[in-house]
Chain A
Amino acid sequence: MIYTLCFVLFLIGLYCAITKKNIVKIVIGLTLMEYSANLFLILLGYRKGGVAPIVSENMNITEFLATSVDPLPQALVLTSIVIGLGVTTLAIAICIRLYEKYGTFDITEIRRLKG
C-alpha cells in the first residue's frame, strides 16, 4: 500500500513531464520523479519498529543489529539528493537562458534552435 502511494507520486511526475508545455513544469515533474525514487529506496530499507542507524552508549551491538534500519540505502540516497540538486539547478539555469532568448517558457514556441 505504501509502495503504491510512492509509485503514484512517480506517475504524477511522469504525467507532468510528458504532457505539460511549460518548461518549468517539466522541471518540476522531473524533480517529483526524483523525490519518489529516493523515497522508495528508503522505504525498502525500513524495519518496523526500528531505530536510526546511530550507535548510542548503552547499546548492545547484537541488539543493535536486530533493530537498526538499513544504513546503506540512506547513505546512497544522501548522495543522490545532492546530485539531484545539481542537476535541477543546471536545468533551471537553462530555463532562465531560454526565457531571456525567446521571451517565453512555452516549448511549442521555442523552435528556432540555432547557435
Chain B
Amino acid sequence: MGEEIYLFITLIFIILGALVAVETRSLLSSVISLGAVGFGLSIAFLLLMAPDLAIVQIAVEVILLIFLIRATIGRDVVPTTGHINWISLSIVSLLIVAFLLIGIYSFRSLLEFGTPIISAVGEAPSNSYIENGLSRTGAANIVTSVILDYRAYDTLGEATVLFTAILGALTVLRVRSRRELGGRR
C-alpha cells in the first residue's frame, strides 16, 4: 500500500462528495458538493504525477462552478416530491449492481495498478515520446510536447469543439431574437 493510501483517501472523499451531490435536496448544496468533487479530483491528479492536469482541472472547476451557481441561485424551487416509483427504482438498482459486478470481473484482465502498459509493450508510442521528446521538440515537459507538437491536430480539433460549444451557449442564452427586435417590438 504505502504511498497509495493517500490516493485511496482522496478517492473515498470524492465518492462521498459525489453521494452528497446526488442525494441532497437543495440544488445549491448539490452544486457546491460537485465543486468539492472536482477539487478532490485535482488532488488525485497531483498524487498520480499529472501536475498539468491538476492545474487545468482547478481552472475548469472554478469556471464550471460559476456557471452552475448562476443557473441555480435564487431558483431553489420546491423539491420534486410526488410518489416514488419503487418498481423502476429497484430495476435501476439491480442493473447498476450487475454493471458493477461486470466491471469488477473485467478489471481482472487489466494489468495490476501501478504497472502502465508502456512498461509491458516495448514499442508503445509513449516510449518514443519520452525518449525523443526533449531532443526532437525541445520541450522539457513531455505532455506539452505531445499536445502541441506530436498531436497538434487533436488540439486544433479541441479548439474547434470548444469554440462551437461556446457559440451554441451564447446562441441559446441570447435574450431577444433579431426578429423580435425588428418586428413586434
Q: Which residues of A contact B (CB under 8 A)?
A: 1-9, 11-16, 18-22, 24-25, 27-29, 31-32, 35, 38-39, 42-56, 61, 64-65, 68-72, 74-79, 81-90, 92-97, 99, 104-106, 108
Q: Are A42's CB and B172's CB within 8 A?
A: no
Evaluate whether A83 and B161 lie within 8 angstroms (CB atoms) in the complex, with A24-B31, A70-B118 already known.
yes
Evaluate whether A54 and B56 lie within 8 angstroms (CB atoms) in the complex, with A71-B126, A92-B68 already known.
no
Evaluate whether A64 and B22 lie within 8 angstroms (CB atoms) in the complex, with A43-B113, A95-B71 already known.
no
Q: Which residues of B contact A38 (CB under 8 A)?
A: 41
Residue with the greatest number of chain B CB neighbours at <10 A, chosen from A12, A78, A82, A83: A78
Q: Which residues of B contact A (CB under 8 A)?
A: 3-4, 7-8, 11-12, 14-15, 18-19, 21-22, 27, 30-31, 34, 37-38, 41, 44-45, 48-53, 56-57, 60, 63-64, 67-68, 70-72, 75, 77, 79-80, 82, 88-89, 92-93, 96, 99-100, 103-104, 107, 110, 113-119, 125-127, 129-131, 133-134, 140-143, 146-147, 151, 154-155, 158, 161-162, 164-166, 168-170, 172-173
Q: Which residues of B contact A25 (CB under 8 A)?
A: 22, 27, 30
CA distance A32 to B35 in the complex (A): 11
Residue with the greatest number of chain B CB neighbours at <10 A, chosen from A6, A70, A99: A70
Q: Which residues of B contact A86 (CB under 8 A)?
A: 161-162, 164-166
Q: Which residues of B contact A20 (CB under 8 A)?
A: 22
Q: Which residues of B contact A5 (CB under 8 A)?
A: 8, 11-12, 15
Q: Are A15's CB and B96's CB within 8 A?
A: yes
Q: Are B22's CB and A70's CB within 8 A?
A: no
Evaluate whether A55 and B52 lie within 8 angstroms (CB atoms) in the complex, with A25-B22, A45-B116, A95-B71 already known.
no
Evaluate whether A46 and B48 lie within 8 angstroms (CB atoms) in the complex, with A2-B4, A87-B165 already known.
yes
